[in-house]
Amino acid sequence: MSGHAALLQALLPSSYAPTGRIVEELAVDGAALDTALAVSLDPLRGLTPLAALEWLEDYERVYGLPGDCRQPGLLLQERLALLAIALAERAAINRAYFIWLAAQLGYAITIEEYGGFKAGFACAGDKLSNPETLFLAGSRAGEPLRQGAPWQYVWTVHAGDTPTVFFRAGQSGAGEPLASWGNNLLECAVKQAAPAHTTVYFAYGE
């Protein structure tokens, strides 16, 4: 007899002989206490859900995942990446945040933004990115060549080739493919986090 069963036996009065039914009861109760001790640290592991996969569905429910990014055959690694992004959703919404977001999904990206072309500030060769009201004679230095431009709210995510998501022990589920490809998750995650007044485009390859 070992574990909690042995401890329970030690608590018996000296007049009790550890035989017959008493031994069976000690074994059952001891096994239950052994199990309780073994899982007693699970709530602590649950504080970092990426290390407690048995709690993943609970975290997805709390954070409303996968939300708009739901798609058939979502891999376990992709579900974990979406959860990591959700846990950091209070981060600053800036260039560095979106680069980090893409990295969680396996992409190394750069971001291109389009500011208005302004006389006196822009240089030769800069793009004329504001397409509405023309800069007219009598306009002052510093005013954009075209006013009310939507392009100042447009940005482009430049990503390389589509990354391959390989099956990984401990991070992949039974029945998942050994390798998977696709850009839908990146585009969905970025658009979901993008400021509402902006428009984001995606460019792939070199």
Torsions phi, psi of 159, nearest 5? -120, 155
Q: What is the pLDDT of residue 85?
A: 84
Q: What is the pLDDT of residue 32?
A: 94
Question: Which residue segment(s) compose the domain that 9 sits in?
Answer: 3-40
Residue 47 counted as domain residue: no
Residue 153 counted as domain residue: no
Residue 60 counted as domain residue: no
Residue 14 counted as domain residue: yes
Residue 120 counted as domain residue: no
Residue 112 counted as domain residue: no
Q: What is the pLDDT of residue 110?
A: 92
Residue 181 counted as domain residue: no
Strand partners, 203: 158
How do the pLDDT tens digits run along the chain, 206 residues long? 688 889 888 888 888 777 778 888 989 999 999 998 888 877 777 777 777 778 888 888 988 888 888 877 788 888 888 888 888 776 578 888 899 888 888 888 999 987 665 666 666 655 555 444 444 455 566 655 554 446 778 889 998 776 666 666 655 666 655 556 557 888 888 998 888 888 898 888 76
Total number of domains in the chain: 1
Residues 6+ apart with CB under 8 A from 51: 45
Cα Rg of the chain (Å, integer): 29
What's the rounded Cα separation, in Å, for the pair 130 and 72? Answer: 40
The string of DSSP letters for 102-136 reads HHHTT--EEEEE-PPPBTTTS-TT------SEEP-
Q: What is the pLDDT of residue 135?
A: 45
Torsions phi, psi of 198, nearest 5? -110, 160
Hey, what's the torsion of the CAs at 47, 49, 52, 58, to 10 degrees? 100
Residue 19 counted as domain residue: yes
| pTM (2 d.p.) | 0.56
Task: Kindly tell me the burial class for residue 190, based on how many C-beta atoms sit within 10 Å of its own C-beta (0-12, 13-18, 19 or more).
Answer: buried
Strand partners, 199: 154
